[in-house]
Homo-oligomer: A and B are copies of this chain.
Amino acid sequence: MPLVRIDLHSGKEAGFAAKVGAVVYEAMTTTINVPAADNFQVITEHAPGGIIYDPSYLGIERGEGIIFIQITLNSGRTVEMKKALYALIATRLHTELGVRKEDVLISLVEVVKENWSFGDGIAQYA
């Protein structure tokens, strides 16, 4: 059920953004019980000016490789699960795609389970 919005700068190699999306999805299945095949994302690549970020907020040095990941999902995950999600996304983006861990910003928006329809006009989780 997550709906993921990924925003990053354009100019990366072909397929990069899709790989970012795949890492985010797989990390959700590993850490916060997102089901198999439950993968829905909007990925937007921005020209300069489309992403505003502070280069040092909280002492973290960010650069043009910044990636915003905003996930709308059902409430109910514990703080520990969320922490595991953040850690795994950042670690895998770094080790597999060379993203700097400092450049990974994640935002969760939680909703109730009747707030989704995955097709056919039906509230599949209600």
The answer to whether B105 touches A60 (Cβ under 8 A) is no
| Chain A, interface SS category | mixed
Nearest B residue to A120 via CB reads B101
Q: Which of B25, B60, B122, B126 contacts A79 (CB 8 A)?
A: B126
Interface size class of A (residues with CB under 8 A): 35 or more
CA distance A86 to B62 in the complex (A): 29
Complex contacts, A53 vs chain B, CB 8 Å:
39-41
Query: What is the oligomeric copy number?
Result: 3
* Alpha-carbon distance A18/B48, docked complex (angstroms): 11
A95-112 interface code vs B (CB 8 A; 1 in, 0 out): 000000111111111111
Whether the Cβ atoms of B42 and A119 lie closer than 8 Å is no
Q: Is the CB of A107 within 8 A of B114?
A: no
Q: Kindly list chain B residues whose C-beta atoms are within 8 Å of the C-beta of A89.
A: 121
* Chain A residues engaging chain B, CB cutoff 8 angstroms: 3-4, 7, 17-18, 21, 25, 35, 37-44, 46, 49-54, 56-58, 60, 62, 68, 70, 72, 79, 82-83, 86-91, 101-112, 114-124, 126
Beyond A18-B52, A58-B124: 16 further Cβ-contacts under 8 Å?
A3-B70, A3-B105, A4-B52, A39-B57, A43-B52, A44-B50, A60-B119, A60-B120, A79-B126, A82-B114, A82-B115, A89-B121, A90-B120, A102-B120, A105-B118, A106-B116
